[in-house]
Amino acid sequence: MKNVKGILLCFLFALSVVTFISCENNSTYENDDVTIICTAYPQYDWIRQIIGDCNNDINLVLLLKGGNDIHSYQPSAEDIMRISQCSMVVALGTESEKWIYDTVENNPSNNTIVVSLIEELGDNAIHSNSEHYHNGQETIHHTEDVDEHVWISYKNAGVLCEVVCKYIIGLDNENREEYTNNLNVYLEKLQKADEEFKNKIEQTKSDTLIFADRFPFRYFIEDYGLNYLAAFEGCSADCEVSFETLISLSECVDLTGANAVFTVDNSDGKIANTVIENTKSKNAQILNLNSMQYFSNEMYDTSFLSVMAENSEKIIKALN
């Protein structure tokens, strides 16, 4: 299987070069410019805030296209071509992004920098079985057991923005002062949002959240010492939830008196409806949280902070 993937990667890379030479390139990508590619929306928006008015000096590209989820995204020949020629890739650091490392390794002359958010977070990354991950491995290839949703945390966002800003300055030192100033302004906004949510949490009646869906909010929940029960661990590929789990979720709603159960972006809500139907009151509402894993083109007009603020409001509502 690995040989097949390698052959496919080489084929796609060769195809991308032919396409680039023989076809007109209608994108804004230019080889002579500093180009930063982000594999997901959160880091794309962080960098938008950091580069600010210097966006004419940096080509910022979001790899994920509208209607795609980070867990199922498949690179196109154009994606591989762009990665091979860009200045820096800011990746999540998941096993599914291994193709990025393969692409960069196949084109070492370009000196493309690959930044892995999981690796940069180091010991603060959470292991999928509830243990903390100790960064004893050097590459992205060994992080499949780590909860990859590192961006869903005001605290992590601040840490990672500082890291990314250093790399940006390394690529464009001429605008160092503006990048640093923009970073500091953004860090203040993140800290303010964190403190405001923490203050609201301290006043809520409950401290337990029920997810009748996948669970990408582990970092956020642990930041504030909240409890949770979820249908799946992380974003498991399992398509069916057990009968025992459904009953446990329904009983938890009854026991805690929860007025809401949560789903996440791109959910069909079937599990949530089943859980509510099996509660005593049957009147809990369904609240949907945006984990920013699924990208829609409308998100270009929003921001990481605004999405997090909407999520925070729904969580506070569920805990009161």
Per-residue model confidence as pLDDT tens digits over 83-136 = 999 999 999 998 889 999 999 998 877 899 999 999 999 999 998 653 333 333
Q: Is the pLDDT confidence value at 199 over 70?
A: yes
- Please report the pLDDT score of residue 235 as a whole number: 75
Structure tokens belonging to residue 302: 């929003």
Give per-residue burial for 56-90: e unless 16+ CB within 10 Å, then b.
eebbbbbbbeeebebeebebebbbbbbbbbbbbbb
Query: From CA 228, how far away is CA 249, in angstroms rounded?
Result: 10
CB 93 within 8 A of CB 148: yes
Query: From CA 128, how far away is CA 143, in angstroms rounded?
Result: 10
Q: What is the mean pLDDT of residues 230-237?
A: 78
224 alpha-carbon distance from chain centroid? 19
Q: Is the pLDDT confidence value at 2 over 50?
A: no
Range with the lowest mean pLDDT among 20-24, 94-98, 183-187? 20-24
Query: From CA 223, how far away is CA 220, in angstroms rounded?
Result: 5
The pLDDT tens digits of the residues spanning 258-272 come to 999 999 998 999 999
- Please report the pLDDT score of residue 107 as a whole number: 85
The pLDDT tens digits of the residues spanning 23-82 come to 333 333 344 589 999 999 999 999 999 999 877 889 999 998 888 888 888 899 999 999
Confidence of residue 217 (pLDDT cuts 50, 70, 90): very high
The residue among 29 and 296 whose pLDDT is bigger is 296
Query: Residue 39: exposed, middle, or buried by beta-carbon count in 10 A (0-12, 13-18, 19+)?
Result: buried
- Please report the pLDDT score of residue 238 as a whole number: 54
- Please report the pLDDT score of residue 137 as a whole number: 37
Confidence of residue 11 (pLDDT cuts 50, 70, 90): very low
List the beta strands (DSSP E) in 122-250: 208-211, 227-230
CATH class of 2-195: alpha beta
The residue among 24 and 302 whose pLDDT is bigger is 302
Average pLDDT, the chain: 85
Query: From CA 84, how far away is CA 199, in angstroms rounded?
Result: 46
For CATH 3.40.50.1980, list the domain ranges present in the chain.
2-195, 204-319
Q: Is the pLDDT confidence value at 9 over 50?
A: no
Residue type, 264: V
Strand partners, 35: 59
- Please report the pLDDT score of residue 289 as a whole number: 97
CB 204 within 8 A of CB 320: yes
Q: Is the pLDDT confidence value at 232 over 50?
A: yes
CB 45 within 8 A of CB 303: yes
Q: Is the pLDDT confidence value at 10 over 60?
A: no
Query: From CA 309, how far away is CA 227, in angstroms rounded?
Result: 20
The residue among 198 and 27 whose pLDDT is bigger is 198
Which DSSP string do the residues of 134-163 spell out, in sequence order?
P----SGGG-TTB---TTS-HHHHHHHHHH
Q: What is the mean pLDDT of residues 9-18?
A: 43
List the beta strands (DSSP E) in the chain: 34-38, 58-62, 68-69, 88-91, 113-116, 208-211, 227-230, 260-264, 285-289, 294-295
The pLDDT tens digits of the residues spanning 129-156 come to 533 333 333 333 334 478 999 999 999 9
Fold annotation for 204-319 = Rossmann fold (3.40.50)
Q: Of the candidates 213, 293, 205, which has an alpha carbon nearest to the alpha carbon of residue 249?
A: 213
Q: What is the mean pLDDT of residues 217-225?
A: 96
CB 255 within 8 A of CB 238: no
Confidence of residue 12 (pLDDT cuts 50, 70, 90): very low
